Amino acid sequence: MSADGVVLGPDGLARCPWGLEAEGMADYRAYHDTEWGRPVHGDDALFERISLEAFQSGLSWLTILRRREGFRAAFADFKIAAVAEFTEADEQRLLGDSRIIRNRAKISAVVANARVAAELAAGELDKLIWSHAPNAARRPAPRTFADVPATTPESTALARDLKKRGFRFVGPTTAYALMQACGLVNDHLADCHARGAG
């Protein structure tokens, strides 16, 4: 198919083109085939995704994927209760941690977001995020990536809802990337082998 549609991998499977980008093909392929677009539930798991999407802002996703284990180690496996207890000294320590992206504003946002999430009842973050999932039956499968939006009314509403509660680094584009990554929407192309796998 064209460069905008699915491409065949070395294993003969049709994938979304980004899942086979030359740089980092193995990393992208594994993420594409086993994670992206699959439903993610649980407050800590969703907090991790919110945090990683915030760090990705302005960078390639490959940069984040390759540092994910470092991020997990640095941020206490993204356990909301633990990160909410981080101090200014912890934030300073993280600025010197080469396993992560050392961006003061993003580090600070993750800690602040953990504090906001810690104030929510158990399961409330999961419920809040998933309440913005669009009706899948009304979303046709994209044929090419030109059919995939950067934002939607649902991602705009999710960003607004999160910001209203005090979350940072959660604009509509980041919220839509979160929705894609966590399976609230399925943006695998129509002919991609992973489309029906979730």
Catalytic residues: 31, 53, 61
Q: Using alpha carbons, list the distances in angstroms from residue 144 to 26, 109, 126, 165.
A: 22, 34, 30, 35
Helical axes 88-95 vs 104-118, angle rounded to 10°: 140
Q: How far apart are alpha carbons 11 and 14 in whole angstroms?
A: 9
Which of 104, 96, 108 is closest to 167 using CA atoms? Answer: 108
Q: How far apart are alpha carbons 115 and 118 in whole angstroms?
A: 5
Residues 6+ apart with CB under 8 A from 135: none
